[in-house]
Amino acid sequence: MLGSLHDEGAARLSNKTYTISDLAREFGVTTRTIRFYEEKGMISPLREGQKRLFTPSDRVRIKLILRGKRIGLSLKECIEVIDMYDPQHNNTDQLHSLIDTIDSRRQTLQQQQRDIDDMLANLDQIKALCERSLSSYIAPDQGTSNRKKI
DNA sequence: ATTCTCACA
DNA sequence: TGTGAGAA
Protein backbone atom coordinates (compact mmCIF):
# COMPACT_ATOMS: atom_id res chain seq x y z
CA MET A 1 0.00 0.00 0.00
CA LEU A 2 2.58 2.56 1.02
CA GLY A 3 5.03 3.50 -1.65
CA SER A 4 8.18 2.57 0.10
CA LEU A 5 11.22 4.76 -0.09
CA HIS A 6 13.11 2.74 2.42
CA ASP A 7 14.27 -0.04 0.17
CA GLU A 8 17.61 0.63 -1.38
CA GLY A 9 17.59 -1.80 -4.24
CA ALA A 10 14.05 -2.84 -4.75
CA ALA A 11 11.98 -0.13 -6.32
CA ARG A 12 14.19 1.61 -8.76
CA LEU A 13 13.25 0.11 -12.10
CA SER A 14 9.54 0.52 -11.55
CA ASN A 15 9.78 -3.21 -10.98
CA LYS A 16 7.41 -3.81 -8.17
CA THR A 17 8.11 -6.86 -6.14
CA TYR A 18 6.48 -8.51 -3.21
CA THR A 19 7.79 -10.44 -0.29
CA ILE A 20 6.37 -13.80 0.59
CA SER A 21 4.58 -12.33 3.56
CA ASP A 22 3.07 -9.58 1.43
CA LEU A 23 1.43 -12.15 -0.79
CA ALA A 24 0.52 -14.51 2.02
CA ARG A 25 -1.31 -11.69 3.73
CA GLU A 26 -2.99 -10.51 0.55
CA PHE A 27 -4.31 -13.92 -0.37
CA GLY A 28 -5.02 -15.23 3.06
CA VAL A 29 -2.69 -18.20 2.84
CA THR A 30 0.37 -19.05 4.88
CA THR A 31 3.90 -18.40 3.70
CA ARG A 32 4.30 -22.13 3.97
CA THR A 33 1.70 -22.62 1.30
CA ILE A 34 3.43 -20.27 -1.09
CA ARG A 35 6.75 -22.04 -0.58
CA PHE A 36 4.95 -25.28 -1.18
CA TYR A 37 3.69 -24.03 -4.53
CA GLU A 38 7.18 -22.97 -5.45
CA GLU A 39 8.49 -26.37 -4.52
CA LYS A 40 5.93 -27.84 -6.90
CA GLY A 41 7.27 -25.62 -9.66
CA MET A 42 4.11 -23.58 -9.89
CA ILE A 43 5.90 -20.31 -9.36
CA SER A 44 9.52 -19.23 -9.67
CA PRO A 45 10.16 -16.09 -7.68
CA LEU A 46 13.45 -14.27 -8.10
CA ARG A 47 15.98 -14.42 -5.34
CA GLU A 48 17.83 -11.73 -3.55
CA GLY A 49 20.18 -13.74 -1.46
CA GLN A 50 17.85 -16.08 0.32
CA LYS A 51 14.81 -13.89 0.15
CA ARG A 52 12.21 -14.54 -2.50
CA LEU A 53 11.18 -11.61 -4.64
CA PHE A 54 7.80 -12.08 -6.24
CA THR A 55 6.98 -10.19 -9.42
CA PRO A 56 3.50 -9.03 -10.40
CA SER A 57 3.42 -12.02 -12.70
CA ASP A 58 4.09 -14.39 -9.81
CA ARG A 59 1.32 -12.65 -7.97
CA VAL A 60 -1.13 -13.24 -10.80
CA ARG A 61 -0.15 -16.89 -10.97
CA ILE A 62 -0.85 -17.32 -7.31
CA LYS A 63 -4.17 -15.59 -7.70
CA LEU A 64 -5.07 -17.97 -10.53
CA ILE A 65 -3.94 -21.02 -8.61
CA LEU A 66 -6.17 -20.03 -5.73
CA ARG A 67 -9.05 -19.33 -8.06
CA GLY A 68 -8.68 -22.80 -9.56
CA LYS A 69 -8.50 -24.33 -6.15
CA ARG A 70 -11.76 -22.68 -5.18
CA ILE A 71 -13.58 -24.51 -7.93
CA GLY A 72 -12.02 -27.74 -6.85
CA LEU A 73 -9.25 -28.12 -9.38
CA SER A 74 -6.18 -30.04 -8.35
CA LEU A 75 -2.93 -28.12 -8.27
CA LYS A 76 -1.92 -30.06 -11.33
CA GLU A 77 -5.01 -28.97 -13.18
CA CYS A 78 -4.39 -25.37 -12.13
CA ILE A 79 -0.92 -25.47 -13.61
CA GLU A 80 -2.06 -27.07 -16.81
CA VAL A 81 -4.53 -24.31 -17.39
CA ILE A 82 -2.28 -21.47 -16.32
CA ASP A 83 0.75 -22.63 -18.29
CA MET A 84 -1.32 -22.72 -21.42
CA TYR A 85 -1.88 -19.00 -21.33
CA ASP A 86 -0.08 -17.13 -24.10
CA PRO A 87 -0.29 -13.35 -24.05
CA GLN A 88 0.47 -13.23 -27.79
CA HIS A 89 -2.56 -15.06 -28.98
CA ASN A 90 -6.26 -15.72 -28.68
CA ASN A 91 -5.87 -18.46 -26.13
CA THR A 92 -8.81 -20.31 -27.57
CA ASP A 93 -6.90 -23.51 -26.93
CA GLN A 94 -6.47 -22.59 -23.31
CA LEU A 95 -10.12 -21.72 -23.01
CA HIS A 96 -11.25 -24.97 -24.57
CA SER A 97 -8.97 -26.89 -22.30
CA LEU A 98 -10.31 -25.04 -19.29
CA ILE A 99 -13.84 -25.88 -20.34
CA ASP A 100 -12.89 -29.54 -20.52
CA THR A 101 -11.37 -29.38 -17.07
CA ILE A 102 -14.49 -27.74 -15.73
CA ASP A 103 -16.72 -30.36 -17.33
CA SER A 104 -14.62 -33.07 -15.80
CA ARG A 105 -14.90 -31.41 -12.41
CA ARG A 106 -18.67 -31.24 -12.79
CA GLN A 107 -18.82 -34.95 -13.54
CA THR A 108 -16.86 -35.80 -10.43
CA LEU A 109 -19.01 -33.54 -8.32
CA GLN A 110 -22.24 -34.97 -9.69
CA GLN A 111 -21.08 -38.51 -9.03
CA GLN A 112 -20.26 -37.51 -5.48
CA GLN A 113 -23.68 -36.01 -5.14
CA ARG A 114 -25.27 -39.28 -6.24
CA ASP A 115 -23.12 -41.18 -3.78
CA ILE A 116 -24.17 -38.88 -0.97
CA ASP A 117 -27.85 -39.17 -1.86
CA ASP A 118 -27.45 -42.91 -1.83
CA MET A 119 -25.80 -42.94 1.56
CA LEU A 120 -28.45 -40.64 2.95
CA ALA A 121 -31.15 -43.02 1.76
CA ASN A 122 -29.36 -45.96 3.34
CA LEU A 123 -29.04 -44.08 6.57
CA ASP A 124 -32.75 -43.38 6.68
CA GLN A 125 -33.54 -46.98 5.91
CA ILE A 126 -31.39 -48.38 8.67
CA LYS A 127 -32.62 -45.81 11.10
CA ALA A 128 -36.17 -46.84 10.33
CA LEU A 129 -35.21 -50.43 11.03
CA CYS A 130 -33.77 -49.46 14.37
CA GLU A 131 -36.84 -47.52 15.34
CA ARG A 132 -39.16 -50.37 14.39
CA SER A 133 -37.06 -52.69 16.42
CA LEU A 134 -37.18 -50.41 19.43
CA SER A 135 -40.90 -49.94 19.31
CA SER A 136 -41.43 -53.66 19.28
CA TYR A 137 -39.68 -53.86 22.62
CA ILE A 138 -41.41 -51.07 24.48
CA ALA A 139 -44.84 -51.54 23.04
CA PRO A 140 -45.92 -54.57 25.17
CA ASP A 141 -45.37 -52.79 28.48
CA GLN A 142 -45.20 -49.06 28.95
CA GLY A 143 -47.24 -48.45 32.06
CA THR A 144 -44.98 -49.76 34.77
CA SER A 145 -41.70 -48.27 33.86
CA ASN A 146 -39.02 -47.24 36.23
CA ARG A 147 -39.41 -43.51 36.43
CA LYS A 148 -40.90 -43.42 39.93
CA LYS A 149 -37.50 -43.50 41.48
CA ILE A 150 -37.21 -40.03 42.92
C1' DA B 1 11.09 -11.91 9.88
C1' DT B 2 12.91 -15.40 6.47
C1' DT B 3 15.05 -19.78 4.89
C1' DC B 4 15.70 -24.88 4.80
C1' DT B 5 14.80 -29.70 5.97
C1' DC B 6 12.35 -33.53 7.96
C1' DA B 7 8.49 -35.47 9.60
C1' DC B 8 3.49 -36.27 9.48
C1' DA B 9 -1.51 -36.60 8.09
C1' DT C 1 -2.29 -30.71 -0.20
C1' DG C 2 -0.49 -28.85 2.85
C1' DT C 3 1.15 -28.03 8.27
C1' DG C 4 4.46 -27.91 12.23
C1' DA C 5 8.99 -27.97 14.51
C1' DG C 6 13.71 -26.84 14.93
C1' DA C 7 17.86 -24.51 13.53
C1' DA C 8 20.41 -20.98 11.06
How wide is the angle at C-alpha A19 spanned by C-alphas A8 and A94, nearest 5°? Answer: 125
Strand C closer than 7 A to residue A30 Cβ = yes
Amino acid at A49: G
Domain ranges of chain A: 11-71, 84-136
Assess whether A76 (CB) lies less than 7 A from strand C: yes
* Predicted pLDDT of residue A137: 82
Q: How far is the CA of A36 from the C1' of B7 (A)?
A: 15
Q: Mean pLDDT, to the nearest integer, of A84-97?
A: 94
pLDDT tens for A26-35 read 999 999 999 9
Write down the pLDDT at residue A144: 52
How many other CB atoms sit within 10 Å of the CB of residue A53?
18
Report CA(A74)–C1'(B1) in Å, whole number.
Answer: 31
Determine if strand C comes within 7 Å of the CB of A67: no
CA dihedral A132, A137, A140, A141 (to 10 degrees): -130
A93-149 tens-digit pLDDT? 999 999 999 999 999 999 999 999 999 999 999 999 999 999 988 766 555 555 445
CA angle A18, A29, A106 (to 5 degrees): 120
- Domain at A11-71: CATH code: 1.10.1660.10
Q: A44-74: per-residue pLDDT in tens?
A: 999 998 899 999 999 999 999 999 999 999 9
